[in-house]
Chains A and B, each alone.
Chain A
Amino acid sequence: MQRLRVEYSRGEPVQYLSHLDMIRLFERAIQRAEIPIAYSEGFNPHPKLAFGPPLAVGLLSDQEFLDITLGQTMDPEQLCRQLGRQMPGGIVLKGAAAVPDGVPALMAVIERATYHVRVPVAGERLDAQIRSFLEQTEIRVRREGKKGPEDREIRSGIHKLTGGVVPEGIELRMEVRNDNDGSVRPDEVVGAFLTFVGMPVGGGATVRRTGLLARRGNELVSPLELF
């Protein structure tokens, strides 16, 4: 058994796939690429794939991770090449590395995600606005949950927020909580910010996940730097 951690990015137009679609896509690509993947035990064995935190429908991403457990060893570069040839347009495998035994699963160590969000609104004095936005001790948003709308506090999950003016409008760059117990969604931060500064909240934002951060002792590092 060998575990390989694959890094990939997701662009247009496959940004519109759901997490389940992504799982299916990788399972089929692995099958086509004849990667010697390992299967779980039991009556209904399934291929051993472990993804990082799901990427919502519509989001682009520069950096996603996936652990593939193999039944026999394989050179990570070779896997990348072989699997890369089976990827539909928009998904680029950026690299792979063998994961030593004992390294925890992606979902167990990833704590934060970083996003760049471009919003087509005119903005100025962003720095000052962001500063006062972050001075709030709590920021409440409503999220449509499975059991109806829920009220959530997101201020404590916003670790960094900066912004700037770009040709399409403004860009907000954030580092937010993203772990098993709860995540702050980039659109919630943007919505709350726009409401706070009195700008219209409409659709049309482009959201790009730029990275994922995992815990290593006292620091947060890329999931590739854990081993």
Chain B
Amino acid sequence: MLRQLLQEQVLRRVTKPARYLGTEWNSVHKPWESVKVRMAFAFPDIYEVGMSHLGLQILYGLVNDQEDFLMERVFAPWVDMEEEMRTRGIPLFSLESGVPAGDFDIIGFTLQYEMSYTNILNMLDLGGIPLLAAERREQDPLVIGGGPCAFNPEPLTDFFDLFVIGEGEEVILELLAAVAKAKEGGRPDRRQLLHMLAQIPGVYVPSFYKMSYLPGGAVAGIEKTEADAPDRIRRRVMGDLETSYFPERPIVPFIEIIHDRIMLEVARGCTRGCRFCQAGVIYRPVRERSPEQLRSQAEQLVKSTGHSEISLTSLSTADYSEVEKLTRSLLDRFGPDRINVSLPSLRVDAFSVDLARELQRVRKGGLTFAPEAGTQRLRDVINKGVTEADLMAAVTAAFEAGWSNLKLYFMIGLPTETYEDLDGIAHLAREVANLGTRIRRGKAGRGVNITVSTSSFVPKPWTPFQWEGFEPMDSLREKQRFLQSRLRDKRISYNWHEAELSFLEAAMARGDRRLGPVLRAAWSKGCKFDGWAEHFRFSKWAEAFAEVGLNPGDYAYRRLEYDERLPWDHIDTGVNKSFLRNEHQRALEGVRTGDCRVERCPGCGVCSNLGVEPVVVHGGSDAAAQG
């Protein structure tokens, strides 16, 4: 009935109605009554963003491959669709069956970035599901969360029944089986069910823990209130990607999405150890897939999707040990069928550019490099193992190969940063532009075009910089103006991320449970799609904080003490806090830490704590040495 209403009256009135059809190639439509447990995968952003997320495709395939379970998709409707839905009383619905989100046993939100939190509240509200976990009734779904932001889920604890810490494909079937068992055994009440689920390693039930706070804002203590809840919730991790589930038939969207191509996951985890990077910690250790398996997966994916591009994805694809061999063999195999192979990001070195050149016969678009900081000193502080020589070699290779549009990506507001480091950014940009002018002189095509882009450093939990503060917004704006003046050159354009958005991201990233009411207040003032510039309203957020009586600066700006309790101390990524502290110290001393793929083990603790080890396919040191 809902489908018919959409079909006949609603879809014709909204932009991009194909976002809401749910009948894409490889979408799975299981009879609702044929399974024991039904789960909705909810992505708190629009279809085009959510469908570009590999994790969705993995969990969707995995769950739907099971006889007893089904998974359907739910996305945040765009504002025009939301208006139609609210006017007509249409609840948030799943794409496949057009079933109200509230009818599922479980709604699983993926927590990819902090500024999607208001969309979660909006989606729950649209689904008619009580926002507060404490107010949910027996018939309401379990609202669960997972993904990177679950490593400090505290600002969200009011709204979630539980979080899954770590790799979802490890946990999800255990969770669904437990819910199935509970339903069969005459559905225990919500609290009993949560007790059962809390026994699954990696499951965090926030209502089983109590936080207390010190005057001034720090956390005084985290106390568990239920004897059978774990003291710390340890991250779930797969020992080996090679034997893990792989979705052979991913959904092929009708409309163009952000990453509209085959995503071939060559590895998980990264060994670089950049000190600002959360992904580099929470996905440890590195686990590579064998080239043989990847070739056969590519074969299957091309057959099942009809995509004409294969993107080799991972946190740092150029670090994949067999990247050259793999790309060459994929090109040999698929080139004649006119299927392209691409890399989502490049390492800053000539090797990566050579690789990109081989992949891209036509130099359309530009290349992006991320030196992250303007001086060697600061790059050593953040442990970004890139030298000016690396960068120059990379851009030389790029200009010589025919590229003339390059983008350089930096962070400002990094710990220990001075104006000398900003001058370093301007200096690098000019050097690159000069080099380009020299190399491209007399060659076909337009002139050199260098885009410098800066974002503001946000201290994230589980990184060596978690104790650092976010740089005051005024000072960030000052630095942006400074760069603007230093980058006056017709070959160079400069753009930056607005400080306000990063400031709120910083507050949320290191936030605690007291931010729950702030989120709620912000949402009720109309905040949603905060990550979208046209929807972001900083003033509404400021009002929300003020209403609740909190100062966002206390969260974003405060430098944390080594010995204070952190709001995420009860989560356990397997990385020792002592390692992070040590890394922070080394950062302040400007001492680099080696890559555990090629140098000695820096002792983060993950392998021994979680009983795993890095999985690197043969030839590892060779490929890295070339870089």
Contacts and interface: CB of A to CB of B under 8 A. Distances in A.
A45 B337 CA distance: 11
Given A43-B362, A89-B23, A204-B9, A17 B254 contact: yes
Contacts of B255: 17-18, 21
Contact of B23 (A13, A29, A58): A13
B306 interface: yes
B304 A14 contact: no
Given A24-B256, A27-B308, A43-B361, A12 B302 contact: no
A45 B23 contact: no
Q: Give the one of A14, A17, A31, A44 with max B CB within 10 A.
A: A31
A28 interface: yes
B308 A58 contact: no
A14 B23 contact: yes
Interface in A196-211: 203-204, 206
Contacts of A25: 254
B12 interface: yes
Contacts of B338: 39, 45, 47
B308 A16 contact: no
Given A24-B256, A28-B306, A203 B23 contact: no
Interface size class of A (residues with CB under 8 A): 20 to 34
A203 B18 contact: no
B25 A28 contact: yes
A212 B308 CA distance: 31
Contacts of A45: 338
B23 A21 contact: no
Interface string A53-81: 00001100000000000000000000000
A28 B305 contact: yes
Given A58-B12, A88-B25, A21 B18 contact: yes
B23 to A, nearest CB: 5
A32 B306 contact: yes
Interface in A23-44: 24-25, 27-32, 39, 43-44
A86 B306 contact: yes
B304 A44 contact: no
A157 B266 CA distance: 57
A1 interface: no
Interface residues of B, number: 29
Interface string B197-213: 00000000000000000
A17 B18 CA distance: 6
A31 B338 CA distance: 10
A88 B28 CA distance: 12
B178 interface: no
Contacts, number: 72
Contacts of B24: 88
Interface string B353-381: 00000000110100000000000000000
Contacts of B54: none
A128 interface: no
B182 interface: no
A108 B9 CA distance: 35
Contacts of B361: 43
Contacts of A24: 254, 256
A14 B21 CA distance: 8
A201 B25 CA distance: 36
B316 to A, nearest CB: 29
A154 B11 CA distance: 27
B254 A30 contact: no
Nearest to B306: A28
Q: Give the one of B9, B21, B24, B302 with max A CB within 10 A.
A: B21
Interface in B1-37: 3, 7-9, 11-13, 17-18, 21, 23-25
Given A13-B7, A58-B17, A31 B308 contact: yes
B11 A29 contact: no
Contact of A203 (B13, B17, B302, B307): B13
Contact of B252 (A17, A28, A89, A206): A28
Contacts of B12: 16, 58, 203
B181 interface: no
B191 interface: no
Nearest to A46: B338
Interface of B: 3, 7-9, 11-13, 17-18, 21, 23-25, 252, 254-256, 302-308, 337-338, 361-362, 364
6 contacts: A13-B23, A14-B254, A31-B302, A43-B362, A44-B362, A203-B13
Interface of A: 12-14, 16-18, 20-21, 24-25, 27-32, 39, 43-45, 47, 57-58, 86, 88-90, 203-204, 206
Given A13-B21, A21-B254, 14 more contacts: A13-B3, A14-B254, A16-B11, A16-B17, A27-B308, A28-B306, A28-B308, A30-B306, A31-B308, A43-B361, A44-B364, A45-B338, A88-B24, A204-B8
